[in-house]
A and B are shown apart, each in its own frame.
Chain A
Amino acid sequence: MAVTTAPPAPPRPPALTSPGRAGLSDKAFRFLSLGCGLLVLVILGFITVAMTQKAWPAFSHDGLRFFTTSRWAPNVEVFGSLSFVYGTVVTAIVALVLAVPLSVGLALFLSDIAPRRLRRPVSSLVDLLAAVPSVVYGLWGVIVLAPWLAGVYERVSDITSPIPVLSSLFSGPSTGRGLFTAGIILALMVTPIITSITREVFDTVPVMAKEAAYALGSTRWEMIRAAVFPHSRAGMIGAVMLGVGRAMGETIAAALVIGSSPQITANLFGSGDSMAAVIANQFNEAGGLHRSALIALGVELFLLTILVNIVARVVIARGRVRA
């Protein structure tokens, strides 16, 4: 009996190019990821529109005076933001004056100077500086640092009082809370940012350039000045500007140590207020037009930091192209 069983049909290979559900899901996935990519654009647009809308009552109430005057008196509905802009800019400048040399030093140490076994601990140190939450810096600043600085400020102002310009910049007595204290805390917070970007740039300096400098008999410092700095100028400027952006937007630490008084004073040891800090300190007690004015301050801060960040990124990108 001849058994003729047909050989079992081989399993049909899955179609590779069938335009069925698989093709559809492929497209769907593509659009999904595109949608998520566009989310950044949407959020930034939303921030601008939604916040400007809520801020509009304040903008239309005060007009240009919102930007050009410095009297901030919520009880009589007068809102001028200039003193907060001043506080923001001054604390950012103090922070940079302190943080830039520190960061460039740290970056040089990590890229060119550190003995091999110190490299990892020091880079952990920088990470640690970045990991401490800003509210913890603020707590330490207001409870420990400010009272100690009050004494230091007193001594400094005694020394500088006979000197014309310095006497108005550094005059006492001070509670220890003020523009300079905020600047010190902000410096600690922007140092890791400036350090990490500067270090990245330093690491891209061609070894050939460094060796050429050494071959010409340079000392290590002369090599750094001849090979490392010229190559890294754009990147360093960009890094510093990113630091500016961060310092301007930093809220909580500044809110705790800046002293909270809306005034424009040349005295760095005196108290002031910054845009971010005043929003944090007043928003929950504010109502009506006051609240709208604080949102308007938020819009102003948003636009300022966006501007600084865009310039910084463009500078960094240009530096990269040339490098």
Chain B
Amino acid sequence: MSAMLLGRVSPVRRFRNRLAIGMVWLSVATAAVPLAFLMVYLAQKGAGIVDWNFLTDDIPISSRLPGPGMGPAVLGTLLITGMATLVSVPLGVLAAVYLNEYGGNRRLAAVLRFLSDVMAGVPSIVMGLFIYTVYVLRYGLSGFAGALALGCLMLPIVIRSAETALKLVPDELREASAALGARTSRTILTVVIPAALPGIVSGALLAVARAAGETAPLLFTIGTVNAANPSLFDGANTALSAQIFGNARQPFEAAIDRAWGAALTLILLVFVLTAVARLVTRRFTVR
């Protein structure tokens, strides 16, 4: 039908239309090309480096030495991101409960909503500096300090995604629960949150994926180590992202190779988290 109509428009207008649509297609290609280059290069470089030893061995003492070892960083990333999740997700979900279940249209809720959007825009390096000034100066470098910084970063993301999930729970469920005599808190804990759980989980997973890839909040909070440190509270730690940053600035081939290996490991971790989040979301929306 549109072809028939287009047959009658003047050549100039038709040309303009084609040009504009062409530019739109071009923009898709322009976004895809660098990403494709990056991915292919990363896969080629990383595939020869990442193996079981790479994931578990200690980091060489001198970055000039060749050979594997990102074990401490893998462990650090998992521990620190896990702790950041433990800190930020419960707090974020409770904050979302306030915004959606109690706050409603109140002025305070509107202000807090606005502030959590603003907080989401605070640069991650500022979060690192913040935790450095309030925690590291007193208690020293540790994995937990890094987890706090990442937690600050995740908090607004968790709040907004959890609030959206809570908003999607139909009011009939709340009314039914109230009609059975349940108090508001009981209704929220046993009816509303379980109903919103898939949405909350997928939002939290996206926040985790974002935090796992972050470097800036960790630079001044966790320090660095070459051997695995399983304690979050005792002594310095390290993470994949921090190791990539450190090694990328080294002039040695071996260090750069380790950076590529760590990058591939990190990106696989982030993609798995993102994919799981999408699966959860899709399930949720079908229901």
Contacts and interface: CB of A to CB of B under 8 A. Distances in A.
B91 A36 contact: yes
A135 to B, nearest CB: 4
A242 interface: yes
Contacts of A106: 27-28, 31
Interface on chain A toward B: helix, strand, loop, or mixed SS? Answer: helix
Nearest to B185: A29
B31 A143 contact: no
Interface stretch (B50-58, B59-67, B168-176, B264-272): B264-272
Interface residues of B, number: 91
Interface in B266-286: 266-267, 270-271, 274, 278
A22 B245 contact: no
Interface string B102-121: 11000011011011111101
A220 B19 CA distance: 11
Interface of B: 2, 5-6, 9, 13-14, 16-17, 19-21, 23-28, 30-32, 34-35, 37-38, 41-42, 91-92, 94-95, 97-99, 101-103, 108-109, 111-112, 114-119, 121-126, 129-130, 133-134, 137, 152, 155-156, 159, 181, 183-186, 188-189, 209, 212-216, 219-220, 241, 244-245, 248-249, 256, 259-260, 263, 266-267, 270-271, 274, 278
30 contacts: A26-B186, A30-B185, A32-B94, A40-B155, A40-B159, A54-B137, A102-B30, A105-B28, A106-B27, A109-B24, A122-B28, A131-B213, A132-B267, A133-B270, A134-B213, A144-B38, A188-B35, A191-B31, A222-B17, A249-B124, A250-B123, A256-B249, A280-B216, A280-B219, A283-B129, A295-B129, A305-B121, A305-B123, A309-B117, A309-B118
Given A38-B112, A46-B130, A309-B118, 17 more contacts: A37-B95, A39-B155, A40-B95, A46-B134, A47-B126, A53-B133, A102-B30, A113-B21, A125-B32, A131-B209, A132-B213, A138-B244, A144-B38, A221-B16, A276-B125, A279-B125, A312-B121
